[in-house]
Structure 1
Amino acid sequence: MSRVICAGHVNWDVTLRVDSLPDPDGEATVKSRVGAGGGSAANVASGLTGLDVPAALLGSVGNDSHGRGAVAELASKGVDCRYVMNVDTGPTTVKYIVVDAAGDVFVLGSPGVNESFRADDLPKSALAEADHLHLTSQSPETAALLASRASNSGTTVSFDPGRRIGDRGYADAIRNVDFVFLNDREAATALDEAAGNGDISDALNETTLVLKHGPKGAEVRDGDDQYAHPGYPVDAVDTTGAGDAFASGFIAARLDGATYERALAVANACGALTAAEPGARTQLSWRRLDDLLEAT
């Protein structure tokens, strides 16, 4: 039995490291090009297994070399991939991630099949037996149905909707989750009722928010209660996947019975380790976290 089921995107990432992010009509020099598995749900599942939390993945890939490579990489890390759908209707989604010398990132996505899976692709028995469901960016209808089923079965739910929270209609899903992860930009977008996000804003006010402030740490807002951790000073190399690593640490700590303060410390340490290294998937482990955690 997997303690956590992660549902969402499974991608193939092509990371281009450049000397600088170009202005419009500008040009940059590519220093390196690396291909590897990616996608927020896949990244979180990988991080959880590194932290000794059995994790399964619900997602979809194409019947191609990128899809096979992404699944094989995850399986080698111990992720249960039995619920990753292999579909013939299109290619595995590829994301082109451009990273400059300061670790800043922008992402170019190609069409693919990373949202071809549906809630019915996950047996209800598997969801009922899990301790936790973690949702990432996906079809709003699928997210809402998975969240509702988990809530009805007594399984706790977290959701990291990602950068498209303002235009994907996730309010129904959010109403059935226990906490939502947002970075500063996503929170500003989601809570802006003037921009037409009233439904999402109302839903967020009914749940626990885990706000990621990057190098300034993170906080939890649970009703009138607030908890904060200042984070860890690191020289950022690549912030890709740092938010996913943060989620892995937070979920693992909470499943272990940690307070919000402790969970934030663990989550920030995971995010810091990932930002300090190239690529979206730093190999997380409790041994690697010890030095940073001892500073709190």
Structure 2
Amino acid sequence: MSTVFVVGSLNIDQNIRVHSLPRAGETVRGSDATYSPGGKGGNQAVAAARAGAAVRFTGAVGDDAHGRRILEVLSGANIDARHVRIVGTAATGTALIAIDDQGENQIIVSPGANSCLTAVDVEGGLAAMQVGDVLILQLEISTALVRQAARTAKSRGAFVILNAAPAPRQLDGLLDDVDLLVVNEQEIQVLAGLAGMPGSHRELVRTLPPVLGPDIVCTAGAEGSFTALDGNLAHVPAANVAAKDTTGAGDTFVGYLASSLAGSPGELPAAMIHATRASALAVTRLGAMESIPWRRELPAFAPSPALPSLVVPN
């Protein structure tokens, strides 16, 4: 099985439960804050590892208690974190997360030590990459480093997955070396705006790849996920579960998707179905990293109704 490499962010999540998410200018009362390891890069690495992949991570944390806690979680997931740099001049990145009674969230990210990641760190972290390996990237670190990592991975024959979150403000060569783009329904609309191609997320899954380059998987919450196969819209419905917290659900999807593709390259529909089941289980739990299931938990998880097979409309 190929190795999954991840270059990305590591944050400590400050979680506050609220009855409803605040509107602009509104103050709402919340629960006492809790702290848990997160960051899109870290979450996706943990998901890929718990899905069964061998994972190597490149990133940065502060020389503080939050950073040490994150490293403990990575170690517990059997992730090779030798290329996580410990920064003495910045605190570990922080994400402020408000979660309402329906499990929806609002997130503000302060990058902290993530901003200290360098080109040298990236090259060192990808030095062992080989043909057939998989690279996962997100946009909580510098886009220049994302482009560099993708370029390096492609030069070594790896398969590159970019989760374009947060949504980029400009493309500027960002997708040149990306094989698969994973976005949600808001992010695909931003990309469509940058490309000057309006449409629904279902339409854009088919119409954007010829323009942007990479294949696209769009996750759409309760609608499930979508991609294009031979010009047709392919749909994997979401599992019907009672969501407690959607934080990290998308990251769980990306990590499981990457792990599946590392084990069975080219099997995107099957990978989407596997990732959907894992993310459905994740939303029934609280937190980000701690909500991500291990592969061994999935057979006992029976969402209702049973997850259908991939549907490809005419």
**Equivalent residue for 1:210, pick from 204, 217, 233:** 217
Matched with 2:155 is 152
Matched with 1:127 is 129
Matched with 2:12 is 12
- How far is the alpha carbon of 1:70 from its aligned partner? 1.3
TM-score of the aligned structures, taking structure 2 as reference length: 0.85
Rounded to whole Å, the distance in 2 between the matches of 1:232 and 1:196 is 30
Q: Secondary structure at the match of 1:270?
A: helix
**Does structure 1 residue 264 correspond to structure 2 residue 267?**
no
1:203-254 alpha-carbon deviations (Å, 9 max, x no partner): 8631100111111110123562442211111111111110000011211222
Matched with 1:289 is 298
**Equivalent residue for 1:252, pick from 228, 249, 259:** 259
Rounded to whole Å, the distance in 1 between the matches of 2:171 and 2:86 is 26
Identity of aligned residues (%): 25
Rounded to whole Å, the distance in 2 between the matches of 1:130 and 1:67 is 31
1:242-291 alpha-carbon deviations (Å, 9 max, x no partner): 00000112112222227322111111112111112111122422232224
Q: Secondary structure at the match of 1:16?
A: strand
Count how many residue pairs are aligned between Structure 1 and Structure 2.
291
Matched with 2:165 is 162
Unpaired runs of at least 5, structure 1: none
Q: Give the superposed CA RMSD.
A: 2.5
Q: Secondary structure at the match of 1:162?
A: coil
Unpaired runs of at least 5, structure 2: 199-207, 309-314
1:151-190 alpha-carbon deviations (Å, 9 max, x no partner): 011011100120232x1x4442311011010000000011
Rounded to whole Å, the distance in 2 between the matches of 1:60 and 1:203 is 35
Rounded to whole Å, the distance in 1 between the matches of 2:285 and 2:75 is 22
**Does structure 1 residue 240 correspond to structure 2 residue 242?**
no
**Equivalent residue for 1:279, pick from 258, 271, 287:** 287
Structure with greater contact order relative to length (CA < 8 Å, sep ≥ 6) = 2
In the superposition, relative to structure 1, how do residues 195 and 227 fare at CA in structure 2: closer, same or farther (>3 Å)?
A: closer
In the superposition, relative to structure 1, how do residues 196 and 94 fare at CA in structure 2: closer, same or farther (>3 Å)?
A: farther
Rounded to whole Å, the distance in 2 between the matches of 1:111 and 1:9 is 8
Rounded to whole Å, the distance in 2 between the matches of 1:194 and 1:145 is 22
- How far is the alpha carbon of 1:129 from its aligned partner? 6.6
Q: Which residue identity lines up with residue 260 of structure 1 in the other structure?
A: L
Alignment of 1:179-218 (within 5 A): 179-193=180-194, 205-218=212-225
* Cα contact 1:207–1:222 (8 A) shared by 2: no
Between 269-278 and 218-227, the greater mean CA deviation after superposition: 218-227
Q: Which residue identity lines up with residue 182 of structure 2 in the other structure?
A: F
Rounded to whole Å, the distance in 2 between the matches of 1:2 and 1:209 is 22
1:94-138 alpha-carbon deviations (Å, 9 max, x no partner): 111110111110112335121321232142532237711111112
Between 21-30 and 9-18, the greater mean CA deviation after superposition: 21-30
Rounded to whole Å, the distance in 2 between the matches of 1:5 and 1:85 is 16
* Cα contact 1:5–1:130 (8 A) shared by 2: no
